[in-house]
Amino acid sequence: MHQEPHVELGVSEFVSLLNQNLEYTFSGVVITGELANLRVSKNRWVYFDLKDDYSTVKFFGTVYNLPGPLEEGMMLRVKGQPKLHNLYGFSVNVQKISLAGEGSIKRAAELLKAQLLKEGLFDPSRKRALPYPPQKIGLIASEQSAAYADFIKIINARFNGLEIFFIDVQVQGEAAPEQITKAIESFNEHSEMPEVLVVIRGGGSAEDLAAFNTEMVTRAVAASRIPTLVAIGHEIDISLAELAADCRASTPSNAAEMLTPDKKHLLSNLVKYQSSLESGLLSTLNHAQQKLKSQSDNLQSLLITKFDQIKQIYASKSDLLEALSPHNILQKGYAIIYKNDKPIVSAKKLRVDDKINIVLGDGKVSSQIISVEEN
Amino acid sequence: MADKDEFNYLEKSQQLDNIIASLQKPDNDIDSAIKNYEDGKKIIKEIEEYLTKAENKIKKLKSLK
């Protein structure tokens, strides 16, 4: 006769064996349900239930598992490991929490937005100016996406000589938030830090764009030491990552346009620069010429003044000379006496019978001395 | 990893602006005006070449972690 297996175990042995079985059977199980009884203990431990119309299951995790602020009634997809705790009973140890359904995603984004807004992540005062144009760009995108192709096409058409460092990431799906976050962190730690970080993705449904509404990506964008430009190709709802970025563009092409001036425009500006250079040089030459002319004029007028002065001095000296001329004295009635062509100024030089010539103002007479009388 | 002939557009553009500004100062001596003019022309040529010939380089990196 076959006997039914009979297992007898101690309590701890039972817990241990059950956990082994649970691990084997339910490794990585994902449970979807409505959130209830959420509570956080010591800012670290998180307890909550997921429920549906008929059942409730307890979960246990850490705050690091939370995708952002949550609210009772939200639909969650929770990956975890069911476990029977040796003291506290059954719960599922959380490995990953994601939101399920558009409604919950939207609501979670609203809650997260309100929280991050309160923390100041979206403050206009935090926004930094982007270098224009940057030399080195850090680009985060999916290599296969139209967004990537558009961005590269437009930037190549607009500007030259750029260095674009690129990290290929998934921009949707479960792995996207972590990949985008790590790409942002990688650029911030890279030895050749780019001057601007560009995160781009084409448009899509709310669920497609969910990565850009996660707390993880939003905080990474806000924390980036490199100024950020985020462009998610949709116009209606602006993602949280865009709100946290220093700058946002409406599409990846628009991002390329915002980053760089158009080289056609710059080249036509160079012609203006060339003519500014020429007119600058010309005006300097004109100015120098004018200066030279005024210097030469000054010199000439100085010479004329000097010449006049000299002329005046000569005129006054000539007047003096004229005044002192003996001819003038003779006009007043004086006379000069010459003996043997030598002027005589003393009576001692003359004797009786000496022949003398007397020069008067209007003529000459010859005479002979009759007598000499000395004073 | 820096290129030997690394060209910085912003720097060059700024230099050109400065040259033009000093060339437009009314009291500029001819020697420095001629030097400014020659330097400006050289920079314009460099920028022109850069904007028509330099290529954009794309380097693919891996995330660190």
Domain regions of chain A by residue span: 11-100, 137-264, 327-368
pLDDT digits (tens, 9 = 90+) for A308-318: 999 999 999 98
Asked if the C-beta of A295 comes within 8 angstroms of chain B's C-beta atoms, the answer is: no
pLDDT band at A353 (very low <50, low <70, confident <90, very high): very high
Interface list for A 332-361 with B (CB within 8 A) = none
**Minimal Cα distance from B23: which residue of A?**
A280
Q: Residue-wise pLDDT tens for chain B (65 aa)? A: 344 467 888 889 999 999 988 888 877 788 888 899 999 999 999 999 988 888 889 998 887 66
Instruction: Please state the rounded mean pLDDT for residues A128-152.
Output: 93
Question: How far does B15 lie from chain A, in Å, by closest CA?
Answer: 12
Task: Give whole-number Cα distances, A301 to A91, A290, A295, A304, A307, in Å.
Answer: 109, 16, 10, 5, 10
ipTM over 0.85: no
| Smallest CA–CA distance from B16 into chain A, residue | A273
Mutation test of the interface with chain B: which of A188, A281, A295, choosing the one with the most B Cβ atoms within 10 A?
A: A281
Can you identify the CATH homologous superfamily of domain A11-100?
A: Nucleic acid-binding proteins (2.40.50.140)
Q: Which residues, in sequence order, are CB contacts of A175 under 8 Å at separation 6+?
A: none
Please state, in angstroms and rounded to a whole number, the distance separating the CA atoms of residues A303 and B58. Answer: 73
Q: Which of A205, A202, A216 is nearest to A171 (CA)?
A: A202
Give the minimum alpha-carbon distance from B52 to chain A in angstroms, rounded to a whole number: 7
Q: Beta-strand (E) ranges in chain A?
A: 29-41, 45-51, 56-62, 75-85, 89-99, 136-141, 163-168, 196-201, 228-232, 247-249, 336-339, 342-344, 355-360, 363-368
Phi and psi for A362 in degrees, rounded to 5? -125, 15
Question: Which one of B63, B64, B65 makes the best mutation probe of the A interface by having the most chain A beta carbons within 10 Å?
Answer: B63
Greatest alpha-carbon span in chain B? 60
* Cα–Cα distances in angstroms (integers) from residue A230 to residues A57, A261, B19, B36, in the given order: 39, 18, 36, 41
Q: Please, what is the average pLDDT of chain A?
A: 90
H-run or E-run covering B58: strand B57-61
Residues near A327 by Cβ (< 8 Å), separated by ≥ 6? A361
Question: Using CA atoms, how far apart are residues A368 and A371, in angstroms rounded to an integer?
Answer: 9
Model confidence band, residue A85 (pLDDT cutoffs 50, 70, 90): very high
**A80, A97 in Cβ contact below 8 A?**
no
- The DSSP bridge partners found for residue A358 are A337, A365
What is the pTM for the complete model shown? 0.67
More confident residue, A322 or A83: A83
Q: Does B4 touch chain A (CB under 8 A)?
A: no
Which is it for the CA torsion B41, B44, B49, B54, positive or negative? positive
* CB pair distance less than 8 Å for B61 and A285: no
Which percentage of chain A shows pLDDT scores above 70? 98
Nearest to A258 by CA among A245, A247, A242, A266: A247
CB atoms inside a 10 Å sphere around CB A62: 13
Tokens 């949707």 appear where?
A172
Of the given ranges (A118-122, A208-212, B60-64), which has the lowest mean pLDDT?
B60-64
Task: Give the class (CATH, top level) of A137-264.
Answer: alpha beta
Dist CA A365 CA A338 (whole Å): 10
Is B65 in Cβ contact with A182 (below 8 Å)? yes
pLDDT at A50 over 90: yes
Query: Is B23 at the interface with chain A, CB within 8 A?
Result: yes
User: Parallel, antiparallel, or unpaired: how do β-strands A336-339 and A355-360 relate?
Assistant: antiparallel
Is the distance from CB of A188 to CB of A161 less than 8 angstroms? Answer: no
